[in-house]
Structure 1
Amino acid sequence: MPPSRPLSLITGASAGIGAAFARDLAARGHDLVLTARRVDRLEALAEALRRQHQCQVTVLPCDLADPAAPEQLCNALAQRGLHVDWLINNAGYGVPGTFEATAWKTHADFIQVLITAPAELAWRLLPGMRQRSYGRIVNVASLAGHVPGSAGHTLYAASKAYLIKFSQSLALENRHLGINVCALCPGFTLSEFHDVTGTRDLVNKMPSYMWQTAEAVVQESYEAVERGEIVHVTGRFNRFIKSLVKLMPDRMALWLSARESKRYRHAD
């Protein structure tokens, strides 16, 4: 049985899907641990949630690009006697441009944040979940993990495909112990992501039916993880795209990806 007030750790909680997870879970009676780099945003969100939902919110800012950050974060939880029931591995961003045109340090930080940190946090928090026979892990992947890669954001689709496969194996290893693991795969989501990557002007030209709000994505995610769904693509349009690409010959799918990606990605 879940605890009366589950404790959820949300990475990348200062904006977008992470902040939407915080608001949704607080409304459902969860206490929260919020982490990201932007302390001012975390504190403002935490104070608003405390007032609105009378929940306990702990702010533990950190930069997951630092290889020591996951261990330090888990040590801070242990020092406060906090036992995580829900882990939302949401922290992420895009690195626009071609692979060789970007400094390796930038790529290394990206791999640390989107691949290594989620895996390490799951590894460090799973023993407690297994001991309590209850846990939920949501790894925020992307529709990009299901479709062919494209020029620009070279590591992005690869990292999301990793999170999908990682979630599948982790789910099969732990579902008999009361732990559900779900790879959440949204498509285009209304957030700051495209402002950060400098592609806002490109994606603004795309039709409205291709977009979802962060709140809609989180609502679908909660329902999917609770019913034990291991991989969930949000939105009917995105599920159609995934199914269509799966049926296509690889050569056609790559051609289509190369053509369409010019609408929303910078290749140089």
Structure 2
Amino acid sequence: MDRRLALVTGASAGIGAALARTLAARGYDLALTARRRERLETLADEVRLRFGVEALVVPEDLAEPAAPARLLAAVEAAGRDVDVLVNNAGYGLPGVFAETGWQEQADFLQVLLHAPTELVHRTLPGMTERRFGRILNVASLAGLLPGARGHTLYAATKAYLVRFSQSLHLETRSQGVHVSALCPGFTWSEFHDVNGTRDLTRKATPDWLWMGADEVAEAGVEALEANRPVCVPGAPNKAIAALGRLIPEDWALALMESQGGRLRKP
């Protein structure tokens, strides 16, 4: 098989599906994973018809600790290597930390922290051996800003992905492997629908802060091919990230609390 394979997690909707289409348009075969088989099958049929690539569907729930190993075993059983890894699977967990159940938080950490780290650790040796690899960790603008009240572990895990990606970038840039962290801001996807915050978030944020999933995906793949360690798509998001670095941290925390207050109002 001449074409390289891209494994995309959380590929059933939103940025994940957009990243899958963007990679397929560039000639990559796909391995698609998420919990919803029907969505994955629909996307697989679409990319086969539109782009003439192969698409392997492997439904998995990355909240299960054994899922990363099963996922890669399925790819190996199909006779393929992972040349591109896109760690996109994720979600938001509303509420303050002490008022949520531990199993909810443990599952969250498994999906957003442990699973992407394990997938990188399992696929990176093959990439370096073949002298070709691409790793895109979908983080968030939240990972570049101070923490906020609620969704307590979200910004923390996204900050981890940013720093993890930067370190990997330095470790692998002479080995044919590109590593980037994609840090989108507000994006049109199912993210806010799943956690029930769509209406509140829309009322609290202006339209100009929102980007489409397709443009976020295109920016992320371009950054990955250029081997830029961090990609913040969109001029407003770049300005917010720069402001977060420049102003004193107590000011930044006050701004985060003010924004969080608007998002909490009924």
TM-score w.r.t. length of structure 2: 0.97
Count of matched residue positions in the alignment of Structure 1 and Structure 2: 265
Question: What is residue 126 of structure 2 aligned with on the other side?
Answer: 128
**What is the alpha-carbon distance in structure 1 between the residues aligned to residue 37 and residue 129 of structure 2?**
32
Q: Is the 8 Å Cα contact of residues 6 and 31 (structure 1) preserved in structure 2?
A: yes
Q: How do residues 167-246 of structure 1 correspond to structure 2 at under 5 angstroms?
A: 167-205=165-203, 206-246=205-245
What's the CA shift string for 1:180-218, capped at 9, x where partnerless?
000000000000101111111112222111000000001
Backbone CA RMSD of aligned residues: 1.4
Q: Does 1:255 align with 2:254?
A: yes
1:76 is displaced (CA, Å) by: 1.3
Contact kept, 8 Å, 1:114 with 1:159, in 2: the verdict is: yes
Q: Is the 8 Å Cα contact of residues 98 and 267 (structure 1) preserved in structure 2?
A: no
Secondary structure of 1:138 counterpart: strand
Cα deviation for residue 222 of structure 1 reads: 1.2
In the alignment, is the contact (CA less than 8 A) between 1:151 and 1:267 conserved in 2? no
Aligned residue in 2 for 1:104: 102
Question: 1:56-135 to 2 correspondence within 5 Å?
Answer: 56-135=54-133
SS of residue matched to 2:12: coil
Q: Which moved more, 1:242-251 or 1:90-99?
A: 242-251
Equivalent-residue separation in structure 2 for 1:184 and 1:5 (angstroms): 24
SS of residue matched to 1:62: coil
| Structure 2: distance between partners of 1:263 and 1:18 | 28
- Alignment partner, residue 32 of structure 2: 34
Equivalent-residue separation in structure 1 for 2:166 and 2:265 (angstroms): 31
Give the alignment's TM-score, normalised by structure 1: 0.96
Q: What SS class does the counterpart of residue 177 from structure 1 fall into?
A: coil
Q: Which residue identity lines up with residue 55 of structure 1 in the other structure?
A: V
Deviation at 1:263, TM superposition (A): 3.0
Q: Give the percent of matched residue pairs that are identical in Structure 1 and Structure 2.
A: 55
After superposition, the Cα gap between the structure-2 partners of 1:71 and 1:231, relative to the gap in structure 1 and judged at 3 Å, is same
> Which of 9, 20, 23 is the matching residue for 1:22?
20
1:88-125 deviation line (CA, Å, top 9, x unaligned): 00000000001011110000000000000000000000
Q: Contact 1:7/1:85 (CA < 8 Å) preserved in 2? A: yes
Residue ranges of structure 1 left out of the alignment (5+ in a row): none
Deviates more, 1:105-114 or 1:195-204: 195-204
Q: Is the 8 A contact 1:96 1:267 kept in 2?
A: no
Equivalent residue number for residue 137 of structure 1: 135
Displacement of 1:173 after TM fit? 0.8
